[in-house]
Amino acid sequence: MKKVLITGASRGIGRACAEEFARGGWQVYVNCARSVELLREVAESIPGCIALPFDVSDRGAVYDAIGGMELDCLINNAGKALFSPFDAVTPEQEKELYGTDLFGVLNCTRAVLPSMIRRRTGVIINIASMWGETGASCEVDYSAAKGAVIAFTKALAKEVGPSGVRVVCISPGAVDTDMNSRLTVREYEELVDSVPLERMGLPEDIASAAAFLASERASYITGSVIDVNGGLI
């Protein structure tokens, strides 16, 4: 049975990925840092699913939990948003944002990559954001972190392609999850109006793209950034 670890899977996109991969016959490992009770409920609702709580920004904790783990797919999905004018962001907020959205990706990848290279198999799927491609006002650090994840995907794909490991990126648009709960009704409606397909993305839209990218049907795709945004950019 193929094994997948999904970070940030207590809710939203990560949870939808866990359910999609389990339906596809994968052994699923789910992670989050804070909502551990919720994570256990997710794991209990999916046959055979195992909860692995740790903070992706804590390199030591990542290695203790998954160092050397033999995975067929890692989905670096854990992320935080930060809405603030750039000059009002505190050093603590910045550390938490980059720690999760950028260093979390590096930490988890480093922990499992050697075993993928040794076995000459594996897929790393990074969840970035359209803001990492276009930039967003009042989300400068978030955009910068996601842009770095996109560059990381392209560079690592070149480095480990000869070792049989694929590295790809999904760049979601606006997805209906807790991450967008700060939007007012009016902001939400304006956002939907700006999407050519006239709806918010669903976590399942991202999960089905991830399942495709992890499959043999995507065996010639690496270093790619797949936009899943309803035509928004």
Residues that bind ligand NAP (CB under 6 A): 7-14, 31-35, 55-57, 77-80, 100, 104, 127, 129, 172, 174-175, 177-180
φ, ψ for residue 58, nearest 5 deg: -100, 100
Are 124 and 168 in contact, with CB atoms under 8 Å apart? yes
Tell me whether residue 55 or residue 141 sits nearer to ligand NAP (CB atom).
Answer: 55
C-alpha 130: how far from its chain's center?
A: 13
Beta 3-6 vs 73-76: how paired, if at all? parallel
Tell me whether residue 63 or residue 163 sits nearer to ligand NAP (CB atom).
Answer: 63
Which of 27, 77, 39, 15 has its CA nearest to residue 202?
Answer: 15
Tell me whether residue 3 or residue 80 sits nearer to ligand NAP (CB atom).
Answer: 80
| Minimum distance from residue 76 beta carbon to ligand NAP (Å) | 8
| Minimum distance from residue 166 beta carbon to ligand NAP (Å) | 19
Which of 49, 15, 18 has its CA nearest to residue 35?
Answer: 15
Which of 56, 140, 135 has its CA nearest to residue 94?
Answer: 140
Tell me whether residue 11 or residue 154 sits nearer to ligand NAP (CB atom).
Answer: 11
Are 56 and 108 in contact, with CB atoms under 8 Å apart? yes
| Minimum distance from residue 164 beta carbon to ligand NAP (Å) | 26
Catalytic annotation present for 142 = yes
Beta 123-127 vs 73-76: how paired, if at all? parallel
| Minimum distance from residue 14 beta carbon to ligand NAP (Å) | 5
Which one from 29, 63, 98, 142 is the annotated catalytic residue? Answer: 142
Query: Catalytic site residues?
Result: 142
